[in-house]
A = this chain, B = another copy of it.
Amino acid sequence: MKLMDIGEVCERTGLRPSALRYYEDVGLISSLCRSGLRRQFAPEVVTQLALIQMGKSAGFSLDEISEMFGDNGQPNVPRERLHRKAEDLQRQIAELKAMREVIKHVADCPAPTHMECPTFRRLVTLAARRAGTSSRRVRRKPHLR
């Protein structure tokens, strides 16, 4: 089980060193030891980081992610709670689908002003009703250098 420098982890995950150090800081991942000053990571962090990236793009905050999969990918949260997360996700999926329909409609509908198109209004008001009931929050645009 060969250990990796931060640079190698970066290469394999596409993340930047500063991000990995930050994740370690907040306890999302951990390095096994140091070689001199350098952090040494076990190969599993690559999988863990994949999980983290997935969680992020699903709209979970780092806090929620570490809640779901503790320091080593183990969930430290009751099943019931996880099932609620899954339901949350289900709701967010529905919202995204609604949004996709609206966008497709806008792209293709020839009506001069969408606010007057009944299909459009129906899509939006339906979606708005749902939006009120959901509490999903989603991550923001990362600052891409």
* Measured CA separation A47–B7 after assembly (Å): 49
The verdict on A10 contacting chain B, using a C-beta distance below 8 Å, is no
Interchain CB contact under 8 A, A103 and B89: yes
Interchain CB contact under 8 A, A104 and B128: no
Instruction: Show the binding face of A for B, using Cβ within 8 Å.
Output: 14, 44, 47-48, 50-51, 53-59, 61, 68-69, 72-75, 79, 82-83, 85-86, 89-90, 92-93, 95-100, 102-104, 106-108, 113-115, 121, 124-125, 127-128, 131-132, 134, 136-142
30 inter-chain pairs at a CB distance below 8 angstroms, sorted by A residue, are A44-B115, A47-B124, A47-B128, A50-B124, A50-B125, A54-B95, A54-B131, A57-B92, A57-B134, A57-B138, A58-B99, A59-B59, A59-B96, A61-B140, A69-B106, A73-B114, A74-B113, A75-B107, A75-B114, A79-B108, A82-B103, A82-B104, A82-B107, A86-B100, A93-B97, A96-B96, A137-B139, A138-B138, A138-B140, A140-B140
